[in-house]
Amino acid sequence: MLDLTDFKGRKDIKSMTLEEVSEEMAALGEKSFRAKQIYDWIHVKLVESFEDMSSLSKELRQKLKEHYSLTNLRIVEERVSQIDGTRKYLFGLEDGNIIESVWMQYHHGNSVCISSQVGCRMGCRFCASTLDGLERNLRASEMLDQIYRIQSVTGQRVSNVVVMGSGEPFDNYDNVIRFLHLISHEKGLNISQRNLTLSTCGIVPGIRRFAEEGLGVTLALSLHAPNDEVRRTLMPIANSYQLKDVLEACRYYHEKTGRRLTFEYSLVRGVNDNLDEARALARLIRDQHGHVNLIPVNPIKERDYVQSGQKAIAEFKNLLEKSGINVTIRREMGRDIGGACGQLRKSYMEGEE
């Protein structure tokens, strides 16, 4: 089992499975139905303190307070887009770190994009989350609470979760798996695994291990280039794993889970957006079960990457479609409230409000 002790030496009860809470209660000499009640207070009623668990005796609440911590993220800032209602949240963690999450409304329901780490060490050239490196991994409770707090303040059910915010989920593997089990648990928020998506930069052993977990989660691969040469200029991880092996792992993931994949491709002007590259991309993923999600790159001020023009994007998309590939273009949500992936946190940390 993962070490669930927090920096004050208390155990992080929000990261525990129902079975683990049951074991804890047995060890404290409590009846087993108490574990179910506590789990329900934490993961369904979304209480913020042990005090609020009003069906428990005062003595038990006191005992819980002594032995356990109840992770609570603090909302540092909430920004609401005037364009599409998207909301971005900056959350404060107990150790003073700051993370960001995004809430988006779609016709099929509300979706939350969560961070899996504070910062990131993958070094993708176009991404703001990685500019200052990795600070630390998030615990499962800190991933859950991004969703719990957002559901509480919006008063609306979250039906989809994408692990696509700051961080590389396979660089924090055990906590992320624990999170996926907890968020889809039938006695918790019970979000269907089909409605969970995890995005990776392409860590081959991570993808293969994930295929064996028995989870029906959608996998998104950050591809961003049709060959290793271009990919290496954008993503340092491409020096560790060749595309051939990454795509073989993706195929294996599909075989094991039956889930179709998403291939994310951020279009950067003059870097990966010409028609030869579209052709090469089509060839590369022709035999994969999945579709391409084109993302016009969101320029960050630390780099001089520029978005591809409308025409180039349309031509790139057409060529893929003519080759029989399904393509979507990612709608830019919340454009007016702080850009992409890690940009809001970064500007907050730099005091550019």
**55-94: which residues touch ligand SAH (CB under 6 A)?**
none
- Residue 164 as a binder of ligand SAH (CB under 6 A): the answer is yes
Choices 49-57, 78-86, 89-97, 197-205 (CB under 6 A): range interacting with ligand SAH? 197-205
Instruction: Determine whether the annotation assigns residue 120 to a binding site.
Output: yes
- Residue 264 as a binder of ligand SAH (CB under 6 A): the answer is yes
Rounded to whole angstroms, how far apart are CA atoms 136 and 116? Answer: 10
- Residue 126 as a binder of ligand SAH (CB under 6 A): the answer is yes
**For residue 264, what is the enclosing H or E element?**
strand 261-267
- Residue 146 as a binder of ligand SAH (CB under 6 A): the answer is no
Instruction: Check: CB of residue 259 under 8 Å from CB of residue 301.
Output: no
Instruction: Determine whether the annotation assigns residue 344 to a binding site.
Output: no
Strands 196-200 and 158-163 turn out to be: parallel
Instruction: Determine whether the annotation assigns residue 308 to a binding site.
Output: no
Two tokens at 89?
A: 């949240």
Q: For ligand SAH, which is the closer residue by CB, 26 or 306?
A: 306
Of 24, 30, 100, 264, which is the active-site residue? Answer: 100
Q: In the 8-state DSSP scheme, what is residue 82?
A: T
Whether 250 is catalytic is: no
Choices 34-42, 69-77, 92-100, 122-130 (CB under 6 A): range interacting with ligand SAH? 122-130
Burial of 4 (0-12, 13-18, 19+ CB in 10 A): buried
Q: Of all residues in the chain, what percent are helix, strand and coil, respectively (each to 5)? A: 40, 20, 40
Rounded to whole angstroms, how far apart are CA atoms 217 and 320? Answer: 25
- Residue 341 as a binder of ligand SAH (CB under 6 A): the answer is yes
Whether 100 is catalytic is: yes
Burial of 299 (0-12, 13-18, 19+ CB in 10 A): middle
Instruction: Determine whether the annotation assigns residue 224 to a binding site.
Output: yes
- Residue 199 as a binder of ligand SAH (CB under 6 A): the answer is yes
Instruction: Determine whether the annotation assigns residue 113 to a binding site.
Output: no
Instruction: Check: CB of residue 243 under 8 Å from CB of residue 228.
Output: yes
The site map against ligand SAH for 278-317 (x = CB under 6 A) is -----------------x-xx-x-----------------
Rounded to whole angstroms, how far apart are CA atoms 262 and 277? Answer: 18
- Residue 100 as a binder of ligand SAH (CB under 6 A): the answer is no
Feature table: binding site for S-adenosyl-L-methionine: 167-168, 199, 222-224, 298
Feature table: binding site for [4Fe-4S] cluster: 120, 124, 127
Active-site residues, by number, are 100, 341
